[in-house]
Homo-oligomer: A and B are copies of this chain.
Amino acid sequence: MINFDYKNDTKIIFGKTTEGRVGEECIKYSDKVLLHYGGGSIKKSGLYNRIITSLKEQNITVIELSGVKPNPRLSLVQQGIKLCKEHGIGFILAVGGGSVIDSAKAIALGALYSGDVWDFYLNINSPIESLPVGVVLTIPAAGSETSGGSVITKEDEQLKKVVAVDFLRPKFAILNPELTLTLPDYQTSCGAADMLAHVFERYFTKVKNVDLTDRLCEATMKTIIYQAKKLVNNPKDYEARAELMWAGTVAHNDLFGTGRIADWASHGLEHELSAITDIAHGAGLAIIFPAWMKYVYKENLDRFVQFASRVFNIDINFENLEETALKGIEEVENFYKYLNLPVRLSEINLDESLIDVMAKKYITDSNKGNFKSLNREDCVNIYKLAF
Contacts and interface: CB of A to CB of B under 8 A. Distances in A.
A361 interface: no
B14 A5 contact: yes
A33 to B, nearest CB: 21
B1 A242 contact: yes
Interface string A1-25: 1111111111111111010000000
A373 interface: no
Contact of A243 (B5, B10, B209, B246): B209
Interface residues of A, number: 39
Contact of A259 (B2, B10, B220, B246): B246
A211 B5 CA distance: 28
B5 A250 contact: no
A358 to B, nearest CB: 35
Nearest to A10: B7
B16 A12 contact: no
Contacts of A216: 216, 219-220, 250
Contact of A227 (B4, B11, B211): B211
A215 interface: yes
Interface string A217-255: 011101100110000000000010011001100100001
A258 interface: yes
A165 interface: no
B243 A1 contact: yes
Contacts of A246: 1, 212, 258-259
Contacts of A218: 219
A175 to B, nearest CB: 10
Nearest to A239: B209
Interface of A: 1-16, 18, 208-209, 211-212, 215-216, 218-220, 222-223, 226-227, 239, 242-243, 246-247, 250, 255, 258-259
6 contacts: A3-B18, A5-B14, A7-B11, A208-B239, A209-B242, A212-B246
